[in-house]
Structure 1
Amino acid sequence: MFDFRQLRYFVAVAEELSFTRAALRLHLSQPPLSQQIQSLEQDLGVRLLERTKRHVALTEPGRVFLEQARQILAKADEARSQVTAAAAGYSGQLRLAYTVSVSFHPALPQALLRYGQIAPNVRLKLSEMYTEPQFAALLAGEIDVGFVRDEPLHAQDARRLRLSVIDREPLLLALPAGHPLAGRSSLRLAEVADDAFVSQPRELAATLYDRLVKLATRAGFQPTIAQHAQQINGLLALVAAGLGLALVPASMRTVRLAGVSYVPLEDSDAYLLLAVACRADDPAPALQQFLSTVAETAVAAGL
């Protein structure tokens, strides 16, 4: 059976219509080139070239085979390029999840933009997902990487996962614009101990809910939760309606909603983790390229 080398030799001779010029093009001496063409013709059982001492021409089977040989070589080159790109992390598929709050942080859109420029042939499959479900999905092999807001609760899960911290994002208090403390440059949580709060249900968003309870407990009170909203951006509508205060990450400031004022907190630990999580033993090139891109994006953004 003929091989790719013979196909390349034949294409060179067919395009040059000269064994001498084809040999120069291939950086090969003429006798082995002639031998390979003869071997190819014997294997196919047809004459591909009519040749004399002064003239080389394609036969009709030769013209048909030239077109096929070009297609085969082009496909081989394409396969080689795709394999090389996949090995370098520039093609393939990446299943990525993120919490809703992360969509307001610049790390996510900037990393996706940069990655799309570096690896445009990687198929991205994006999903909104809370932090704890992301850990479960990673361990089950349902996603490849996630932007999370906390560390795994269980030590055995932490050992199987790899977390790269991007940011410790400050937490703000979202207050109704008419609140007496709305114009402050900062405040301590103890100053609003008597106010009602709005939050997401703990079963959906345990990270932010637990951080509110922890900070409040440290400030000497238990927060009163007056209303719940499914999504973090929905909390702001409740704040604007005067139904309570909300603890939100600083990037939520980009949501300019009439009737809402944001005030930074002075309390220690008033921050929310932002990290990228993946399986510790996942060597996928597309994933590794994405992790590198996220790290470079974080450095460029000064995080």
Structure 2
Amino acid sequence: MVNELKVKCFMCLAETLSFTEAGRRLFISQQAVSRHIAGLEQDLGIRLFERSRNSVELTEAGVRFFQFFRETGSRLQLLLAELAGEYAIQTKNIRIGYQNWLEFGPALGSAMAVLRESTPDLHLLGERHSPVALITLLESAKLDMILIHERFIPINSELRRLLLIKTPMQVVISRRDPLCIGFNGDYHIFESRPLLIDAFEGENQIATVARAGNELAPYKFEPKEIIVLPNRDSIYTEAELGRGIFLSSSMSQTIQNGSLARFDTDVLEGLFCVWRTSNSTFYIEQYAKQLRREYSALTERFLKTYRWE
């Protein structure tokens, strides 16, 4: 019966034309090489080598089998590499990052549960970061995909994006603020309050204020003052104390904060799933598509549960 060891002996002897050298390369005796070659010839019913007292030569059939095994071996290695790659994809973790102030509800876990029905060893590793950090980690291949709002996604042909959901942006303010009483639906009345905004990594105050101006453009909103704070938690605290307002997605974690009131604007913002084209795999794409289905199916329930209205 043809087996791997016999083929290895044949290939090594065909390359070296020496039983001694073939045995040395394979770490077996030359007698063992001779025995395996004889066994292969018997299995095939074809003489592969012409042997004399002082030399070994391939027969014409031996040359053809050598070419066949070499080509087959190359294709086999490619096939094994592909299968190993597919297996690695099936068992690897999907490293996903998401904006640190957003509340995603059950969609992340529900989407993964669907994929794990067919691939039980697929796992999701989640990390929260600022938008700037998310893009940096994605581009440096430290994350496989990110969930991020559209305004933070750079123009980059190497990034693939899939819209998951669009929700209204909101003005968030302390419930104790007098402007909350009798709110008439026009969020521009809050322009009289300072706007609180957090600085991203690497930003100085001038850059943060400039970014705030760009982000405010769709709202036609001109606050009397912009206050830059070091992080999102500081914004929540200052807003609770009545020292200003901030703009936030209706998916923000402020939905759990009873001290803050939220008022819809007329600006919708898309939440996207983004991944690198060079890292696009079957499971990353399937997870992104399943996320979109989950958000589509659960939007109405989210609106009621998290009061996104």
Which residue of structure 1 lines up, in the alignment, with residue 260 of structure 2? 260
Which residue of structure 1 lines up, in the alignment, with residue 248 of structure 2? 248
Pair 1:280 & 2:281 matched: no
Which runs of structure 2 are paired with 1:61-80 in the superposition (5 Å)?
A: none
Pair 1:224 & 2:225 matched: yes
Q: What is the Cα deviation at residue 196 of structure 1? A: 1.2
Which residue of structure 2 lines up, in the alignment, with residue 160 of structure 1? 158
Separation of aligned partners in 1, 2:133 and 2:196? 23
Which residue of structure 1 lines up, in the alignment, with residue 171 of structure 2? 173
Separation of aligned partners in 1, 2:211 and 2:297? 27
2:132/2:200 contact within 8 Å kept: no
Classify 1:283/1:261 alpha carbon distance in 2 versus 1 (closer, same or farther; 3 Å). Answer: closer
Which residue of structure 1 lines up, in the alignment, with residue 127 of structure 2? 127
1:177/1:259 contact within 8 Å kept: yes
Output one character per residue of 1:73-92: Cα deviation in whole Å (capped at 9) or x when no partner.
xxxxxxx9xx6995596432
Q: What is the Cα deviation at residue 271 of structure 1? A: 2.8
Which runs of structure 2 are paired with 1:31-180 in the superposition (5 Å)?
A: 86=86, 90-104=90-104, 107-116=107-116, 119-150=119-150, 154-155=154-155, 157=156, 159-180=157-178
Separation of aligned partners in 1, 2:96 and 2:174? 35
Classify 1:215/1:195 alpha carbon distance in 2 versus 1 (closer, same or farther; 3 Å). Answer: farther
Classify 1:252/1:297 alpha carbon distance in 2 versus 1 (closer, same or farther; 3 Å). Answer: same
Q: Which moved more, 1:243-252 or 1:203-212?
A: 203-212
Matching residue's letter, 2:135? F
2:132/2:201 contact within 8 Å kept: no
SS of residue in 1 equivalent to 2:126: strand
Classify 1:3/1:293 alpha carbon distance in 2 versus 1 (closer, same or farther; 3 Å). Answer: farther
Q: How many residues align?
A: 221
TM-score by length of 2: 0.58
Which residue of structure 2 lines up, in the alignment, with residue 55 of structure 1? none
Separation of aligned partners in 2, 1:210 and 1:167? 25
Q: What is the Cα deviation at residue 164 of structure 1? A: 0.4
Separation of aligned partners in 2, 1:140 and 1:111? 25
SS of residue in 2 equivalent to 1:301: helix
1:150/1:274 contact within 8 Å kept: yes
RMSD of the TM alignment (CA)? 3.8
TM-score by length of 1: 0.59
Separation of aligned partners in 1, 2:185 and 2:198? 22
Which residue of structure 1 lines up, in the alignment, with residue 73 of structure 2? none
Identity of aligned residues (%): 14
Which residue of structure 2 lines up, in the alignment, with residue 297 of structure 1? 294
SS of residue in 1 equivalent to 2:251: helix
Which residue of structure 2 lines up, in the alignment, with residue 213 of structure 1? 216
SS of residue in 1 equivalent to 2:179: coil
Classify 1:193/1:152 alpha carbon distance in 2 versus 1 (closer, same or farther; 3 Å). Answer: closer
Classify 1:121/1:178 alpha carbon distance in 2 versus 1 (closer, same or farther; 3 Å). Answer: same
SS of residue in 2 equivalent to 1:264: strand
Matching residue's letter, 1:273? G
2:96/2:126 contact within 8 Å kept: yes
Matching residue's letter, 2:123? R
SS of residue in 2 equivalent to 1:94: strand
Q: What is the Cα deviation at residue 225 of structure 1? A: 2.4
1:201/1:229 contact within 8 Å kept: yes
Separation of aligned partners in 2, 1:104 and 1:210? 27
2:159/2:276 contact within 8 Å kept: yes
Unpaired runs of 5+ residues, structure 2, are 5-38, 44-79, 301-309
Separation of aligned partners in 2, 1:274 and 1:261? 22
Classify 1:171/1:117 alpha carbon distance in 2 versus 1 (closer, same or farther; 3 Å). Answer: farther
Which residue of structure 2 lines up, in the alignment, with residue 200 of structure 1? 198
